[in-house]
Each structure stands twice: as C-alpha cells, then as structure tokens.
C-alpha cells in the first residue's frame, strides 16, 4: 500500500519558526546552496494564514517537506 502525507497520522511537514523575516531570508540563502534540497516555494507572505506570515518551503534530500517561517501572531 502506498502511503500519503495526507493520510491521518502522517507528518505533512516540519516547521521552524524564526525570530525575523531577515532570518527566514538568511536560512533560505543557505538552503539554496544545499546539495539535495529542493525549494518548493520561495520566501513570500502567506496572508491566508495571517497578514505577516512570511515563509518558504523546501524538500530535504529524503523528501521531507520543511518550512521556515516568521510571524508575530501569538
């Protein structure tokens, strides 16, 4: 049986919250240099989550989806 990230109990992605938008951009620059990492979405505002939700997504060499994000919402 093939599994899907969308199945109940499966991990969709890992998210790491940064201290600033600048930090998101700094980490993105490093990820772009990683061998085996594939950028899925470049840094941008995702206003559907909240007005200042700034993040990017990438897949690591094992295919795991990872998010680096900054927002001020508590």
Is 34 among the domain residues? yes
Is 6 among the domain residues? no
CATH of the domain at 40: 3.10.180.10
pLDDT band at 2 (very low <50, low <70, confident <90, very high): very low
Range of the domain at 50: 14-70
Q: In angstroms, rounded to a whole number, what is the distance separating the alpha carbons of residues 19 and 69?
A: 9
Per-residue pLDDT at 7: 66
pLDDT band at 6 (very low <50, low <70, confident <90, very high): low
| Predicted TM-score (pTM) of this structure | 0.83
Is 29 among the domain residues? yes
Is 2 among the domain residues? no
Closest-CA residue to 10 (of 19, 20, 2, 18) = 2
Q: How many domains would you assign to the chain? A: 1
């Amino acid at each position: 049986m093939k599994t899907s990230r969308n199945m109940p109990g499966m991990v969709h992605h890992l998210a790491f919250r940064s201290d600033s938008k600048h930090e998101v951009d700094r980490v993105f620059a490093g990820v772009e240099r990683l061998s085996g990492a594939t950028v899925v979405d470049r840094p941008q505002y995702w206003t559907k989550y909240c007005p200042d939700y700034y993040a990017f997504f990438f897949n690591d060499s094992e295919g795991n989806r990872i998010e680096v994000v900054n927002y001020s919402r508590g």
